[in-house]
Structure 1
């Protein structure tokens, strides 16, 4: 079996003396892993860096096998990411999030959002929306369209930490200390203040932890908290 496609490298790990296993988000195919023979060579080391866009050809005898990759560099980003700590932390956080996706399940919306994020100046609001989309595509999406208590669609200010549903200002008033603040830019397009950014990541972090990190007994991306600190100061 064989296919060729464009992919974003999100991880590379050593395998044996000379090879690596590459982890990539492939357009139209989702997250794929494959063995690259000779991947630790000086010839390939610059190409096989997370953040680069490559053309991959995957080959395997059977569809459910790991398979092998051959790789050609299309767009090198790694050097630019390494030179900018904020962009590097952003990329590393995104790649850790993408590792949560099941293999071989297309997620082109998330791939497009990831590329948009790492190709532009770090944007806290866009990253928070990316985390919301990640939750949604993994089946844990929040319902921010109307109030869980009254059904109204305006003045939504909080979210239930259990159900993930929005709550209006009036309905939230007696229970504010038990609810999570909902920054207005997540419910409707708009500008985000530094305080909004902090609240947004508190919200997404709560549900990422509840449904993914704690549930899978894994730690959050180590770059996420320092990145949030940088983004919420702007």
Structure 2
């Protein structure tokens, strides 16, 4: 890769005594893993900028399977994430790092990710709306875009007052059963628009994205979610 490309750091791991192994989310190449030689040394000019939530321009190269970071320049200061917003950002980064295959372009998702970070950074309220929109977008880009506007059984448009039960790999089917897999037609239309006008709809969206995304975890829970419950949640009680 000879040219410069916009990206964000998703995850870092120590590699040898002075280097780093980094997952990047790039504008044109999707998720890539690069070796940053000497990035942990005291003299490295990369040490300060290879941080999550810092918009960067990077270039890389190499002939082997493991490519090497050749340069990195910050486009701006890191987004000001603290407290709940910080853990929300880490949550988004962890999802991308865990579910996106390497070297597959996700250009639209890249800008949706950027929008999510900007909303989180500027939000004076709960980050829930931004997170739900991102999760629904991620499901769509993973090839799991469930049709929220039509009953999977009849093909008819969903009706606001009717109840639809989610069935994996099928979609939403009209049902008289009310349980954790059930949603109203009104809620499904809100999911399709990625708008959450009230608390009940927002909670329903969270319930659905948890159901739909959890199979991607393979039984290994998100570390960012565990940290939130351990560090942030006790402080709010």
TM-score by length of 1: 0.81
How far, CA to CA, are the matches of 2:77 and 2:170 in structure 1?
38
The equivalent position to 2:169 in structure 1, one of 155, 163, 169, is 163
User: How many residue pairs end up in the alignment?
Assistant: 219
User: Equivalent residue for 1:202?
Assistant: 207
Contact 1:125 1:192 in 2 (8 A): no
Structure 1, 117-126 or 138-147: larger mean CA deviation:
117-126
Stretches of structure 1 that go unaligned for 5 or more consecutive residues are none
2:167 aligns to what SS in structure 1? coil
User: Equivalent residue for 2:90?
Assistant: 92
Stretches of structure 2 that go unaligned for 5 or more consecutive residues are none
Structural mapping, 1:100-119, within 5 Å: 100-119=99-118
Contact 1:4 1:57 in 2 (8 A): yes
How far, CA to CA, are the matches of 2:208 and 2:67 in structure 1?
36
1:49-78: CA deviations, max 9, x gaps?
A: 11111111111125x433334211112225
User: Equivalent residue for 2:72?
Assistant: 71
The equivalent position to 2:143 in structure 1, one of 135, 139, 142, is 139
The equivalent position to 1:193 in structure 2, one of 182, 194, 198, is 198
TM-score by length of 2: 0.80
Query: How big is the alpha-carbon RMSD for the aligned residues of Structure 1 and Structure 2?
Result: 2.6
1:148 aligns to what SS in structure 2? coil
Contact 2:35 2:66 in 1 (8 A): no
2:146 aligns to what SS in structure 1? coil
How far, CA to CA, are the matches of 2:183 and 2:227 in structure 1?
19
| Poorly superposed stretches of 4+, deviation over 4 Å | 224-227
1:139-194: CA deviations, max 9, x gaps?
A: 22322130122322132553413235124xxx32x222373325342133544322
How far, CA to CA, are the matches of 1:6 and 1:76 in structure 2?
14
Deviation at 1:25, TM superposition (A): 0.9
1:181 aligns to what SS in structure 2? strand
